[in-house]
Amino acid sequence: MSKAKRLIDILLFVSAKKKFTAQEIADTFNISVRTVHRYLLDLSDMGLPIYAEQGRHGGYTVLSNAILPPILFTEEEAVSIFFAFQSLHYYRDLPFNTEMKSVSQKLYDSLQKEAKKKVDTLQSYMAFWNPKRAITTPLLTDVLEAIIKQSQLHIQYESKSGITSKHVQPIGVYAHDGLWYMPALLLSNEKILLFRVDRIHAIEASDESHKTTMNLQQWLESAYEPQHPIRLYVELSSEGVRQCLSEPHLEKAVVLLSDGTGYIDTIIDQGELQFNSSLFFRLGPHAIVKEPQALIQLLRQHAHELLEIYPEPNES
C-alpha cells in the first residue's frame, strides 16, 4: 500500500476516534509503533491538530477544530464550488469571511493546470454581480454565533426614532441585495420584527432561550402572506411593465397585454403601502394607481411635499 493511501486511512481513523494511542493504530493497520509516530508527524505537518499526552495513560487527542478527512471532487464539482464562493464576493461582510477565502484558494490550488486555465478564463467573462455596499456589518458573526446557540439577545438598535434597546429571540439571518437581515421575536409583545444587522450597534447574549413558533424558512415563506390584506390595482404603460418586472415583489403580479402595456391586480399587506408609494411615485405616469385609495393619498402627499420644496418661481 502506498504511503499516501496509508496516511488517508489513518487520517480517517483518528478523525473519527478523536482519542487514541499509537499502539491502537499499529494494531489496526499492522505497522510498527515507530512507523505510526512518523505518520502522525506527517499528518501534523499537513495541518491535523494533534495533542500528545505524556504518561502511563497518555496517547493522542485530535482537537475539536480538526480538519475534515479528504473529500474527492471531480474537476467540474470543484469548479462549481469555487464559483459558488465567488457569488458571495460582492458582499461587504460575510460570516467566517477569512475561512471562505481560504477554502476558495485551496480549491483553486487543488485544480489541475487545465482546470485552472478554465477558471481563469471564466472569471474574465462571468461574474455574480451585486452592488457592493459601503455599509459595514461588524456584528454579523457575533449575531450568527448567538443564533446558533439559540441565545436571547439584548440589542441596541438604530431606527428612525433613534437608538433603542430591544430584547429579542432571533429566528435567523439572511442576505438580500447586499445587506443582512435578522427576523426576531420581540419578547416584549411576542411579535416578529425584521431588523437590519448593520443597524445593530451592540449586542449582549444571555443563556436564556425562548422557543419560537417557526424557523427561518417558515418565516421567509410566511413573510409573503399578507397579515392585513388590501387590493392593489395599477395600470402600467410598456415602460411601467418593464420597470415593475424588475421589482422582485411585483414581478409575478404583472399581467402583460398584447400591446405591451399591462396591469397589476394583486393582494398586498397594508404595511407595504409606504414602500410601494415611493416606487409608484418614481414611475410617475407609467404606473397609474387605481386602488387602494390609501396609496393614492400617499402619492398625492409625496407630490405635495415635492411642490413645497420646488415652488413656482413667482411663488417664492
pLDDT tens digit sequence for 157-173:
998 889 999 999 999 99
Distances (CA, A) of 74 to 80, 83, 118, 246: 10, 14, 14, 37
Which top CATH class is 1-60?
mainly alpha
Query: What pLDDT, on a 0 to 100 scale, did the predictor assign at position 225?
Result: 73
Q: How far is CA 83 from the centre of its chain?
A: 16
Structure confidence by residue, pLDDT tens digits, 26-57: 999 999 989 988 888 888 877 777 877 765 66
Domain spans of the chain, in order of start = 1-60, 73-123, 137-219, 227-307
Residue 11 pLDDT = 83
- Positive or negative, the CA dihedral 33, 37, 43, 44 is positive
d(CA 165, CA 185): 14
Q: Report pLDDT digits (tens) over 237-255.
A: 999 999 999 888 899 999 9
Grade residue 92 by pLDDT with cuts at 50, 70 and 90. Answer: confident
Instruction: Choose among 160, 157, 187: nearest CA to 171.
Output: 187
Residue 304, number of CB atoms within 10 A of its CB? 9
**CATH class of this structure's domain 137-219:** mainly beta
What's the mean per-residue pLDDT of the chain? 85
pLDDT score of 266: 94
Cα atoms in the Cβ-side hemisphere of radius 13 Å centred on 134: 0
C-alpha cell at 121: 478564463
Predicted pLDDT at 255: 96
**Of 155, 134, 240, residue with least CA distance to 206:** 155
pLDDT in tens, 122-154: 888 887 776 677 888 999 989 988 888 888 999
- Is the pLDDT reported for residue 224 higher than 70? no
The reply to whether the predicted model has a pTM over 0.75 is no
Q: Does residue 69 register a pLDDT over 80?
A: no
User: How many C-alpha atoms does 257 have within 13 Å on its Cβ side?
Assistant: 11
